[in-house]
Amino acid sequence: MADQKITWKYILACLSAVLFTWIIHEFTHWITSESLGYESILRLNSVSPVSGHNWTDLHNVYISASGPLITVIQAVIVFVVLMKNSWNKTIYPFLFTPLYMRLLAGGMNFINPNDEGRIGEFFGIGVFTLSILVSGFLFFLVYRIAKTYNLNWKFNTWTAIIIILVSSVLILSDQILHIRIL
C-alpha cells in the first residue's frame, strides 16, 4: 500500500506545490502578455496590463489560455511520472493542486469570468464549458493515480484541506497586501 501518512514533509510538499503552481501559472500569463508587447504587472494571483493599456480581445484569449495550459501540462507531467515510476507522495500535490486551482477558477466564473470563462465567452461556447472540460480532465488524472495507488479518502481529504488552506492564504495575501512580483 502507498505511503499515505500526513507528515510535516508532506505538508511542506503541499505548500511547495501551491506556490509553484500559482507562480508558474501567473508567470505564464505575464510572459505571454509581455511577449505580445504589453507592459504588465505580475502579482501572486493576477496579471494585468500597466494602467492605461488594455489587451485586445484576441490577445486576452492568448493570455487567458496560457495559464491554464501550463497548469494542465504540469499535471500531465506529474501524472506520467507517477504512472511510470513508483508512488512518491511528495509529488502528488503537484497533480492535486492543478485540479483544485482550476475547480476554484471555474467556480469563480459565477462572480467574474476567469481564464477558461473568458475564452468560452470569446468563442461563444459559454462561461463554464471549458472550465468543466479542463476540471474533468484533471479530475480524471487525479482519480487514475488515486485508483492506481489505492489512495484512501482520508489522505485525499487531508491533501485537499492543506491545499485549500495554503492557496487561501496565498490569495488573501495577494488581495490584502497587493504583492507585486514583476
Number of structural domains, the chain? 1
> Residue 67 and residue 52: Cα distance in Å, rounded?
23
> Residue 82 and residue 72: Cα distance in Å, rounded?
15
Mean pLDDT of 44-63: 89
In a domain, 181, yes or no: no
CA count, 13 A, side-chain hemisphere, 33: 26
In a domain, 164, yes or no: yes
In a domain, 33, yes or no: yes
Q: Which three cell numbers stand for residue 44?
A: 501572486
In a domain, 182, yes or no: no
Q: What share of the chain is helix, strand, coil (3-state, %, to 5)?
A: 70, 5, 25
In a domain, 91, yes or no: yes
In a domain, 103, yes or no: yes
Question: How confident is the model over 140-162, as pLDDT tens digits?
Answer: 999 999 999 999 999 999 999 99
What residue numbers bound the domain in which 65 lies?
8-176
Mean pLDDT of 4-22: 96
CB-count exposure of residue 119 (10 Å: 0-12, 13-18, 19+): buried
Question: How confident is the model over 90-129, as pLDDT tens digits?
Answer: 999 999 999 999 999 999 999 999 999 999 999 999 999 9
Quote the pLDDT of residue 178.
86
In a domain, 1, yes or no: no
Q: Does the reported pTM lie above 0.75?
A: yes
H or E element in which residue 107 lies? helix 93-108
Compute the residue count for the chain: 182
* Residue 51 pLDDT greater than 80, yes or no: no
Q: Other C-beta atoms within 10 Å of 61: how many?
A: 17
In a domain, 2, yes or no: no
